[in-house]
Structure 1
Amino acid sequence: MSDIRALTAGKRIALGSGLYAERAAQHHSEWEERLRTWYAWLQPGGKRKAARFTQQVGALEAEISQLDNEALAGALLYAVTPMHKHGFADPYLARAFAVIREASRRCTGKRHHNVQLLAGRALLHGKLAEMATGEGKTLAGTLAICTAAATGASVHVVTVNDYLAERDAEHNKALFDFFRLSLGIIEQDMPPQQRTEQYAQQIVYVSNKELTFDYLKDRIAIGHLNATQVKLNRLFNEAGTQSSILRGLHLAIIDEADSVLIDEARTPLIISETIPDDLGEALYHQALALANGMHAEHYTLGKNRDVWLTPAGHTHLRAAAEGLAGLWQKPAWQQELVQKALSALHLFKRDQHYIIADNKVQIVDESTGRVMPDRTWERGLHQMIEAKEGCEITGQRRTLSQITYQRFFGRYLLLGGMTGTAKEIEPEVKRTYNLSVERIATHKPSKRQRLADHVFLTDDERWQKVIERASHFAGMGRAVLIGTRSVEASERLGQLLTEAELPHTVLNARNDADEAELVAEAGQPGRITVATNMAGRGTDIKLAPEVHAAGGLHVILTEFHDTARVDRQLFGRAARQGDPGTVEAVVCLHDEVFTRFAPTLAQLYLPWVRSGRPHGRLFRWLVRHAQQRSERHHRRQRLQTLKQDRQWLMSLGFVAAHRK
């Protein structure tokens, strides 16, 4: 492709002046970003254009089906030639999609439905395609992937973990081979030279974490060279010089886009190095001992996992630290260390926010339930939690480079994504990434039934009801999926199911390597699967014929999440593609989403729970209110992360300018 900017159908895009083709850093005023948010609510639909597009593809089907394999493979290159000048306009996309659909039918036995055509079109128009669970996002993505790769663009297919990257790549390899499109797969711990070779391929499947860190490595590697030196080194391929890992940020297609762009966007990605910890292990244990000696009137816990000492707390700490040597003689250090210790003791819980594996503290992603083994908390918090758990205390970390997902994915010339839940976050993705959301209709009408909610005052009542309902539906020959919010809850429920002599499988962060296999088997008759939030992502639950005849999969939600999107993902496991299925919620009024974000309203709802006749509509309003407050809270956190990232960039630029 002579000019990679032609991908964007004539939109003017400023390229960066760095190592390879990427969008220049964008600086928008806060008012411009707010206007984007308002536009997301007001933009018109395009149903007529969508219908016309599917008709255009269908009209070409008879002609395309007459081609032999060699002619069909060449037809894609012919179809994409006008895109070099006109971008991904509908008339040219229609022919390309007709070719890819016929090739897929021949190679894989799967023919794209009209709704999948519309999803592929949305991706190349730079949108998020919202497709219900089970509607075939992986197959829909091949339309955009093959089309873009055939134009010469570097296509990055971004998934939430390495397993899904490898699995999806292998599923689609036959189709890519048919069109002679080269395929690369990035895996954790892959050596740099091999990574560079894989990124050189036309289509690259990679997890969001690996991709972003590879980009940071490129920035570090060339940080000591100016642009002219980099170009000369690449031109002459000088021995001993550091080449880039990536070959450009042309096009990214993100699977489970809401998880990547929103849920994981609260924390910047950081490459750091370990430096000696001058504080010493004894200091952390002393801080924990002092924190354990404090009472509720000595500190206040905030919603952002902040801790503040009260006046009584300051007085208590000064008295408790009197006589201690070293840093304890400095009031600022006293406060910093004890506040970190209070956070470790009261705000970060084992088997919820982290697990202990191989005698190491490993952070658990609260949105997905997956372990993030390479992540650490900053400014001594991680070391404080290691001391709390009796693990070996690792060294402090010094930042070498960092970036947010907001800034990184904003550098792509064209960005698209797919997810089952996106409409709720459209204003935010429009504001942050300038992405619109296109809701794709289901191929078949949904038969999902939501049963009445069950609300209790204690955990014991909740779990007793969950076991009762799971036993009932499994006894009918149906499959049962039970979703929990934490590792701790999943293991507690697993123990109770064992005591009730109900065969089951528990899937959580401790065994997430077997995730896909366990979820795929969850559709067998009488099978009970307990899983954390990861169950809603990435792998289809295929129903056995007997389960389908008995009423399909039954999903039990045991605790509402901070965001309704995650609950919708879990419920979306049932009744996919026109299958039968039912869902229900069995929860406790003292769950975190209520006590943290709607404590007063939860107290007002108590009489209905105690009466044994919960008011269904009122309770769902309470849930919606609590989740909306939670979503606003987390949205503010993400915007604050983005502001801090911009401030970090400004300070970095100031230092660089000062050094010159």
Structure 2
Amino acid sequence: MRESMRGPVGGERLAAWPPVNIPLASRLFVERRDEGDWALDRWASGWWLSRPSPKRQAMRRQQRFVAQVVALGETLHGLSQTELLAQARAAAERAFVTGQAQAGVRALALVREAARRTLGLLAYPPQVYGAWMLVSGHLIELDTGEGKTLTAAIAACVGALAGVPTHVITVNDYLAQRDAQKMSALFGYLGLRVGVVHSGVAQALRHVEYAQDLTYCTNKDVVFDYLRDRVNARGVHSRAQLTVRRLHGQVHSQEPLRLRGLHFAIVDEADSILIDEARTPLILSAAREAGEETRAYEHLLRVAASMQAPLHYRLVEPHRQPELKDEGRALLEDLAREMDARDEHDGDTGPDALMGFWRVAWVREHYIVQALRALHVFKRDQHYVVHEGKIVIVDEFTGRLLPDRSWEQGLHQLVEVKEGCKISGQNRTLARLTYQTFFARYLRLSGMSGTLREVSRETAGVFKVRTVRIEPNRPSRRVTLPPRLLPDQPTKHHAIVDDVRERLAVGQSVLVGTRSVRASEDISAALTAAGVPHQVLNARQNADEAELVARAGQPGMVTVATNMAGRGTDIPVAPEVLARGGLHVVLTEWHESARIDRQLVGRGARQGEPGSCRTIVALDDEVIDKHGGTTLKMLQARYGGGPWPEHAMAWLQKAAQGAAESHNAAQRRHTLKADHHMRTQLAFSGATE
């Protein structure tokens, strides 16, 4: 068994299949072993794997490979289904295991022919080459609208035909079901069984779905199913050992293990899953009853509300995280002494007795900081919404509701009390894992997104995978209109209304992108006051998301939406709108990452269609206010409230987003380091996650 193999094109070195030191037949968890958290190793891998290839050389390589696939495909029309399937299995196995270019050409040509027969879709050159890069274990940057669904399906077919359990991982339930259904005819023609795992699939049936040749699933579900397997088989390292222990009653859970291992993953919206969601560890927990904790949390909030800034605490930028000062700690110590004295005097049972944390300094300080976060950091309609009497977290990057998630360490309960909701019990942690650690365990990891170049060094350092840019099938015809920087929110809203009216007057449809629910509602109110009909898509109105998005490209349509990144639903633009300039996208606020801005702008002018975009931001936008720093002060001193030249706006944008992304990257590194440290301690004690 070789430790490495030559890449299919360009001489890249790929991970061997299967990697050395992993006895597949005996190990219970078939996966790549953790390599540790070495900063120097991450830096070296990131530098080496993120080196860009010369564009001309990369284009020649892509064209040469695709030309061979197309030429071979012309000779396959006369094959019967049986002949095609037999040849596809043999070629797929050679291509996946050896990485030989010629085997890849044949495997892709055969699967491409099957897609033509079943779906009526003949994969374009970017889709063909993108599929091969996925099979080879790369991340690919493929522009919005270039056909990621078919690209992933072709690559998944090659993996599954090679006999490798394949996971196609998407960002939400809708996309997992939709993509599996759209490609079902192709999979059936090739004799492949397809499983689908999402929040609606019963827990007892999930092992059946993962047992299929390939499985479409969401990132959240696959990680939590993996953690459940780890908890159910804690301390067991082989299937034989698990069977013996179950026979002797030494394993409490009789639930069958769900996953067959982490073999081959194709991650859709890879930057969203691998980067944006990597700042928070995923925690498998068991709910506990709330009991009498409500009074304790109410007391915490009262104490936190009585504290004064900057006397007792300060809010540390850029995310205004509370930090206690010596005066604040002294105040808490005085309160703790008063409670002890009161309890000794009359035996009163207050919230301190219920929780038992006031007598321990670090515990009371932790909960007070959480209470300060609940009061001053987490904002309604931005970080969460109140839905049917419950606190529901809003995904910061996609604007989606996350009803099955909760904040840990008392924060969720404190926000519930703050909003007058029924309190839920704190959860008992059973297992935890970060996305970085989980996805790095796949024997072969690949993924795709429209925006990956900005994070190529980080993904290379953490996951040891190279990012490849796939050029679009047709050149972009997007028209970028001059950006505008306004002094405040009211002025910005007025400018947005004017821009929308101007685009409607020429016959374009308009998509207005916002960062938060509240921002979308503010702009909606401005459009309503101006008499402009429109539809709103945010965390409050997401039930008919696909239908709302499908209408966004129709004549006269204006859609106000929270961050469209990762929604994965195409916006079909009506012919009469295309004739008048296509879909017009308005970016109303810079995001913390320039990738998210590009994702929003990429909703228009797809596949060589006409389209336009304009950026309209204000100096009091959150990202500018928090991260502008000295650059903002210097430019304000020179240009005042505006108008600013484009180069000054570009300078401010780069400075603000650079500072925000640096902070987020540091947070991801801290999360990964903490996860590695915790796993090291658990391994030392003989436990697992």
Name the TM-score, length of structure 1 as normaliser.
0.93
1:623-642 maps to which residues of 2 (within 5 A)? 623-642=653-672
Secondary structure in 2 aligned to 1:184?
A: strand
Q: Aligned in 2, Cα 1:379/1:305: closer, same or farther, shift over 3 Å?
A: farther
Q: Aligned in 2, Cα 1:234/1:573: closer, same or farther, shift over 3 Å?
A: farther
Pick aligned residue for 1:450 from 473, 480, 491:
480
CA deviation profile, 1:17-64 (whole Å, cap 9, x unmatched): 741422222235321111112113435454443232112112212211
- Cross-structure match for 2:315: 301
Secondary structure in 2 aligned to 1:510?
A: coil
Secondary structure in 2 aligned to 1:82?
A: helix
Question: What displacement does 1:565 show?
Answer: 0.3
- Cross-structure match for 1:575: 605
The whole-number CA distance in structure 1 between the counterparts of 2:606 and 2:228 is: 41
- Cross-structure match for 1:263: 276
2:255 aligned with 1:242:
yes
Question: What displacement does 1:224 show?
Answer: 5.4
1:2-401 maps to which residues of 2 (within 5 A)? 8=15, 12-15=19-22, 18-27=27-36, 29-42=38-51, 44-45=53-54, 46-83=58-95, 86-223=97-234, 225=236, 227=238, 228-230=240-242, 232=244, 241-277=254-290, 280-298=293-311, 299-302=313-316, 303=318, 306-314=321-329, 323-324=338-339, 326=352, 328=358, 331-401=361-431
Q: Aligned in 2, Cα 1:38/1:78: closer, same or farther, shift over 3 Å?
A: closer
CA deviation profile, 1:170-193 (whole Å, cap 9, x unmatched): 110111111111111112142233
Matched AA of 1:148 = G
* CA contact 2:511–2:559 (8 Å) conserved in 1: yes
The whole-number CA distance in structure 2 between the counterparts of 1:657 and 1:514 is: 45
The whole-number CA distance in structure 1 between the counterparts of 2:243 and 2:131 is: 36
* CA contact 2:269–2:566 (8 Å) conserved in 1: no
Question: What displacement does 1:535 show?
Answer: 5.3
The more displaced of 604-613 and 336-345 is 604-613
The whole-number CA distance in structure 2 between the counterparts of 1:234 and 1:437 is: 44
The whole-number CA distance in structure 1 between the counterparts of 2:306 and 2:687 is: 49
CA deviation profile, 1:447-480 (whole Å, cap 9, x unmatched): 1111111111211111111111112212322110
Matched AA of 1:272 = S
Question: What displacement does 1:348 show?
Answer: 0.5
Matched AA of 2:440 = G
Secondary structure in 2 aligned to 1:430?
A: helix
1:359-508 maps to which residues of 2 (within 5 A)? 359-508=389-538
Secondary structure in 2 aligned to 1:362?
A: strand
The more displaced of 69-78 and 104-113 is 69-78
Q: Aligned in 2, Cα 1:459/1:356: closer, same or farther, shift over 3 Å?
A: same
Question: What displacement does 1:291 show?
Answer: 2.3
Secondary structure in 2 aligned to 1:348?
A: coil
Secondary structure in 1 aligned to 2:429?
A: strand
Secondary structure in 2 aligned to 1:590?
A: coil
Secondary structure in 2 aligned to 1:77?
A: helix
Secondary structure in 2 aligned to 1:42?
A: coil
Q: Aligned in 2, Cα 1:333/1:106: closer, same or farther, shift over 3 Å?
A: closer
Q: Aligned in 2, Cα 1:364/1:240: closer, same or farther, shift over 3 Å?
A: closer
Greater helix percent: which structure? 1
2:661 aligned with 1:646:
no
Question: What displacement does 1:283 show?
Answer: 2.1
- Cross-structure match for 2:539: 509
Matched AA of 2:241 = Q
1:544-623 maps to which residues of 2 (within 5 A)? 544-606=574-636, 610=640, 612-623=642-653
Q: Aligned in 2, Cα 1:69/1:224: closer, same or farther, shift over 3 Å?
A: closer
The whole-number CA distance in structure 1 between the counterparts of 2:100 and 2:332 is: 67
The more displaced of 302-311 and 95-104 is 302-311
Question: What displacement does 1:603 show?
Answer: 2.5
Question: What displacement does 1:337 show?
Answer: 3.3
Matched AA of 1:475 = A
Question: What displacement does 1:137 show?
Answer: 0.8
Structure 2 unaligned segments of length 5 or more: list them.
6-13, 343-351
* CA contact 1:192–1:245 (8 Å) conserved in 2: no
The whole-number CA distance in structure 2 between the counterparts of 1:334 and 1:248 is: 42
CA deviation profile, 1:68-120 (whole Å, cap 9, x unmatched): 34433333124225347x52321111011111212212211111111111100
* CA contact 1:290–1:320 (8 Å) conserved in 2: no
- Cross-structure match for 1:538: 568
* CA contact 1:159–1:165 (8 Å) conserved in 2: yes
The whole-number CA distance in structure 2 between the counterparts of 1:196 and 1:492 is: 46
Name the TM-score, length of structure 2 as normaliser.
0.90
Secondary structure in 2 aligned to 1:496?
A: helix
The whole-number CA distance in structure 2 between the counterparts of 1:329 and 1:187 is: 44
* CA contact 2:512–2:559 (8 Å) conserved in 1: yes
* CA contact 1:536–1:570 (8 Å) conserved in 2: no
Matched AA of 1:248 = G
Matched AA of 1:174 = A
* CA contact 1:186–1:206 (8 Å) conserved in 2: yes
Question: What displacement does 1:234 show?
Answer: 9.6
Q: Aligned in 2, Cα 1:140/1:51: closer, same or farther, shift over 3 Å?
A: same
CA deviation profile, 1:415-460 (whole Å, cap 9, x unmatched): 1001000011011000100011000001001011111111112111
Matched AA of 1:229 = Q
* CA contact 1:574–1:582 (8 Å) conserved in 2: yes
Matched AA of 1:552 = G
* CA contact 1:478–1:551 (8 Å) conserved in 2: yes
The whole-number CA distance in structure 1 between the counterparts of 2:18 and 2:28 is: 22
The whole-number CA distance in structure 1 between the counterparts of 2:263 and 2:135 is: 12
Aligned residues: 656
The whole-number CA distance in structure 2 between the counterparts of 1:561 and 1:89 is: 42
The whole-number CA distance in structure 2 between the counterparts of 1:94 and 1:329 is: 69
Percent of residue pairs identical = 41
The whole-number CA distance in structure 2 between the counterparts of 1:207 and 1:313 is: 44
The whole-number CA distance in structure 1 between the counterparts of 2:244 and 2:53 is: 49
Matched AA of 1:596 = K
Matched AA of 1:253 = I
* CA contact 2:486–2:617 (8 Å) conserved in 1: yes
Question: What displacement does 1:328 show?
Answer: 4.9
The whole-number CA distance in structure 1 between the counterparts of 2:409 and 2:292 is: 12
The whole-number CA distance in structure 2 between the counterparts of 1:82 and 1:537 is: 35
The whole-number CA distance in structure 2 between the counterparts of 1:493 and 1:114 is: 41
The more displaced of 441-450 and 103-112 is 103-112
Secondary structure in 1 aligned to 2:510?
A: strand
* CA contact 1:370–1:534 (8 Å) conserved in 2: no
The whole-number CA distance in structure 2 between the counterparts of 1:210 and 1:102 is: 33
* CA contact 1:184–1:205 (8 Å) conserved in 2: yes
* CA contact 2:564–2:599 (8 Å) conserved in 1: no
The whole-number CA distance in structure 2 between the counterparts of 1:455 and 1:190 is: 47
Matched AA of 2:94 = P
The whole-number CA distance in structure 1 between the counterparts of 2:501 and 2:482 is: 18
* CA contact 1:101–1:111 (8 Å) conserved in 2: yes
CA deviation profile, 1:596-637 (whole Å, cap 9, x unmatched): 112322233235664643111111111011111111111110
Question: What displacement does 1:276 show?
Answer: 4.5
* CA contact 1:131–1:419 (8 Å) conserved in 2: yes
The more displaced of 218-227 and 90-99 is 218-227
